[in-house]
Structure formats: C-alpha cells, structure tokens
Amino acid sequence: MKKGASFEQAYNAQAAVDSAHQVNVVQALTNQPPDAEHLPALVDRVAAWPPTSKKCLGS
C-alpha cells in the first residue's frame, strides 16, 4: 500500500461473524488498499451461509 512516496507491504482483512454463536463464518484477505469494493462479495458470501454441500461441511 502506498505510504507517502514509498510503498509498505500491508493487507486488508474482512470478516463476518455469526452474532449468536460468535463464530467467524466468512473471511477474506487481500493486499488491495480499498476494502469498500470487497464488501459486496463478502455480503454475498454471508447470504449463502451456511454451505449446503456436505463437502464444504467436512462430512
């Protein structure tokens, strides 16, 4: 990420938590500075939670 005239290695992390159980249900990590553009994809992933595939559930 740009810091003044130089660049600094940094990351943006986004997470969504199930408020009833305090469990992290969706997460994302990127090296892109503006995190606002990642919100729609995160919201879509939350809307699709929980996964219905047994493979996703580890069964």
What number is the average pLDDT over the span 34-53? 82
How confident is residue 59, by pLDDT bands cut at 50, 70 and 90?
Answer: very low
Structure tokens at 19: 């408020």
Output the pLDDT for position 52: 65
What number is the average pLDDT over the span 4-13? 84
Q: What global pTM score does this model have?
A: 0.60
Output the pLDDT for position 55: 55
Structure tokens at 11: 């990351």
Distances (CA, A) of 36 to 15, 24, 41, 51: 13, 19, 10, 24
